[in-house]
Amino acid sequence: MTLTETAIPPEDRDIDAWTAPAGWPAMALPQIEAMLCAAGQPFEMETIEIDGIATRCWKYAPPSLAALAQIARGHGDKTFVVYEDERVSYESWFRATATLADHLRAVGIAKGDRVALAMRNLPEWPVAFFAIVSIGAIAVPLNAWWTGGELAYGIADSGAKLLIADAERLDRIMPHLDDLSSLQAMLISRSTGGLPDRATRLEDVVGSPPAYGELADADLPVTDIHPDDAATIFYTSGTTGNPKGALGSHRNMTTNIMTSAYAGVRSCLRRGEAPPTPEPAVMLTVIPLFHVTACSAGMTGIMFGGSTMVFMHKWDPQKALEIIERERVTATGGVPTIAWQLIEHPDRDKYDLSSLKSISYGGAPSAPELVRKIREVFGALPGNGWGMTETMATVTSHTAEDYLNRPDSCGPAVPVCDLKIVDADGVTEMPVGEVGELWARGPQIVKGYWNKPEATAATFVDGWVRTGDLARLDGEGFCYIVDRAKDMIIRGGENIYSSEVENALYDHPAVTDAALIGLPHRTLGEEPAAIVHLAPGTSASEAELQAWVRERLAAFKVPVRIVFCEETLPRNANGKILKKDLAGLFG
């Protein structure tokens, strides 16, 4: 493989496509890996047996999240979290984390116990998360957009003994408390009213974020934690039935620290530059921390490097522009929607956005046009990648010139990971360029699904995870996601599994047939839309069915449009609805 083969031939380029400068790339991917991952180098790898599978791992990744917390404390008075007018330093955060960890121990939380965490991005979130995992308990971050019933399911399914939540999430869960027999106690943040039995104000334990620095100089409780001990349960919606909890380990989480750093160094070497001395970044974190993208791929690296996370109460592009200017934000992103809204905001030119160095995203389809726009409008480097809850985020990383050169790819696998394309028979590996199901393996693949052995056996095979994505690999290992095998819609980075919405529609007494499809959307990627057939003699309006779904599922899952079909929906010989034939109904 010659160095020049990475550039797309001029005759195959769009007229506005990025043109590789002379001499780019300066180094091929295998050369970079051989240099950076050599013995004694920071990205050295070692082979470790994980659950009986020989697995390449980063040798110098922190061995646990508790170890990461100790590293982060070393950043002292540097600002860790900014939220509106609240600022929390690393030392202050650590004191609150250690205090809460002691409290959890005192109320009976032991290694392996589950503790649910349900709140928006607040300074309390990383305090709660690290207090849980640092004593060997299992953190269960729940989707803060879920309804009360969905939150109650996550608490019950995980068997959480304790819930740490903000007042908004408590209000949703309140009607379901009597059904949550495993839940022994709750710590509630930012509550201004009375609390139910079993509940205590979180502030009574650790104080409010601005006062964390006044807490005693404590250390984390001593806990024996192995890298492959369970640390997290992140829920991912299932194609059928209820959401499944992906059981992750400490190694799963800390792997991303080295992966992100490797991607940055690789980009410099590709353009022939020596990697600069690492400098702390300021990250506008707008993706919820209950997603592995923000928690695992984002927060862990930020803490390792002593960077700053800036939270927003909710996403607002106008406020984001203000924050970027005020805080001198160097990086942001999450999903393509965010980048588009910043680019297209009518007041963008009124703000000094020159601090922005990178805008990265994943979790939703993105147009190649966006890659170029990020560079043209902000002078920032674009970044993308691929991963999923079951891979604890990053498997491929695609940044800078490589992304500009291949804007329709999600990049090559990071050195500790392997990808392969498998035929529909689940056995035959497809050759380069052929499309099949994407399989991935590496040290960040989760341990399986919580209490779902059959689903685990179907998805995790000899160290590989069957992703359900249809993809192809090129000759240099760059991955291209071409479709999804699973019946899923991705709306602005949030997964919507069709069966969940269809089942909610089927529960309506007038609906006898229903199908959910994704309609293309320029900034969100896709939006859900439904086609329904009503039982003879019954009636229902679009607004009625939308309200019906909204009462049962999170708002982002509600179909934006519903059309009615006089006949039952078209099916193939196996009885499966032919969804590709339905998009024309939304012309």
Position 155 confidence tier, pLDDT thresholds 50, 70, 90: very high
Position 237 confidence tier, pLDDT thresholds 50, 70, 90: low
Region 228-256 average pLDDT: 90
- Rounded to 5°, the CA angle 571-574-577 comes to 30
**209 C-beta neighbours (distance < 10 Å), count:** 22
Q: How far is CA 450 from CA 111, 260, 447, 456, 581, in A?
A: 16, 27, 9, 8, 36
**563 C-beta neighbours (distance < 10 Å), count:** 13
Give the three-class secondary structure for 550: helix
pLDDT (0 to 100) of residue 4: 28
pLDDT (0 to 100) of residue 136: 98
91-225 carries CATH number 3.40.50.980: yes
Q: What is the mean pLDDT of the chain?
A: 91
Q: What is the C-alpha to C-alpha distance for residues 224 and 345, in angstroms, rounded to an integer?
A: 50
Q: What is the C-alpha to C-alpha distance for residues 310 and 175, in angstroms, rounded to an integer?
A: 33
Q: Which residues contact residue 181 at a Cβ distance below 8 angstroms, ignoring those fewer than 6 apart?
A: none
Position 470 confidence tier, pLDDT thresholds 50, 70, 90: confident
Q: How far is CA 244 from CA 114, 241, 516, in A?
A: 15, 9, 21
Residue range 381-424, pLDDT digits in tens: 999 999 999 999 899 999 999 999 998 899 999 999 999 999 98
Q: Which residues contact residue 51 at a Cβ distance below 8 angstroms, ignoring those fewer than 6 apart?
A: 228, 447, 463
Q: Which residues contact residue 483 at a Cβ distance below 8 angstroms, ignoring those fewer than 6 apart?
A: 435, 469, 470
pTM of the model: 0.86
* Per-residue pLDDT at 177 exceeds 90: yes
Region 306-333 average pLDDT: 96
**535 C-beta neighbours (distance < 10 Å), count:** 13
Are 160 and 140 within 8 A, CB to CB? yes
Extract long-range pairs of 72-75: CB within 8 Å, 24+ residues apart.
72/303, 72/304, 72/306, 74/306, 75/306
191-195, 250-254, 521-525: which is most confident? 250-254
pLDDT (0 to 100) of residue 576: 62
Q: What is the C-alpha to C-alpha distance for residues 394 and 420, in angstroms, rounded to an integer?
A: 16
Q: Tell me the percentage of the chain whose pLDDT exceeds 90.
A: 76
pLDDT (0 to 100) of residue 485: 64
Residue range 90-112, pLDDT digits in tens: 999 999 999 999 999 999 999 99
Q: Do domains 3-16+25-60+247-484 and 488-586 have the same CATH topology?
A: no
CATH topology of domain 488-586: GMP Synthetase; Chain A, domain 3 (3.30.300)
* Per-residue pLDDT at 378 exceeds 90: yes
CATH topology of domain 3-16+25-60+247-484: Rossmann fold (3.40.50)
Position 365 confidence tier, pLDDT thresholds 50, 70, 90: low
Q: What is the C-alpha to C-alpha distance for residues 298 and 304, in angstroms, rounded to an integer?
A: 10
* Per-residue pLDDT at 501 exceeds 60: yes
Instruction: Kindly list the domain boundaries of the chain, sorted by start residue.
Output: 3-16+25-60+247-484, 91-225, 488-586
Q: What is the C-alpha to C-alpha distance for residues 79 and 308, in angstroms, rounded to an integer?
A: 6
pLDDT (0 to 100) of residue 262: 96
Position 24 confidence tier, pLDDT thresholds 50, 70, 90: very high
Position 34 confidence tier, pLDDT thresholds 50, 70, 90: very high
Read off φ and ψ for residue 28, nearest 5 degrees. Answer: -80, 155
* Per-residue pLDDT at 13 exceeds 80: no
Residue range 543-554, pLDDT digits in tens: 999 999 999 999
pLDDT (0 to 100) of residue 331: 96
Examine residue 276 and say whether the peptide bond preceding it is cis (omega within 30 degrees of 0): no
* Per-residue pLDDT at 118 exceeds 50: yes
Range of lowest pLDDT (54-58, 266-270, 337-341, 420-424): 337-341
* Per-residue pLDDT at 67 exceeds 70: yes
Position 16 confidence tier, pLDDT thresholds 50, 70, 90: low
